[in-house]
Amino acid sequence: MRFLIASIVLLLFAFVIKVDLQEGTLPLASFYAAPQSCEEAEKESYVVVKIQQDDTIYSLFSATPSPIKTTFPERLAQFYQLNPHLNLQPLVPGDTVLIPIISNVKENCLN
């Protein structure tokens, strides 16, 4: 009989400790370091380029590569946002255009 009561008390004690460690009163934060939260945001900037003879949008993009891999249609849409006057217009030698450059910047880092 003693053995049965002792084993029930031991199981009850183990259950209480397990629940307390998982959900309860002992703070888990004291056992683990706080995770560092950094968000990477895309930073859009541009480069001013003077158009030369026989320049195309492809050649301008290849001459000024973006650090982040983007598709051509995405970069073209950003190009036309920066240069709305060139929408459906040919590139004229001597004009200056803005070429979009996109890079990752870590912001909101918490220690």
**pLDDT of the residue at 69:** 84
Determine the average pLDDT of the residues in 71-80. Answer: 90
Instruction: Please list the alpha-helical segments (H only) found in the chain.
Output: 2-22, 57-63, 72-82
> For 17-64, what is each residue's pLDDT tens digit?
777 777 766 555 555 556 666 666 667 788 999 999 999 999 999 888
pTM for the model stands at 0.56
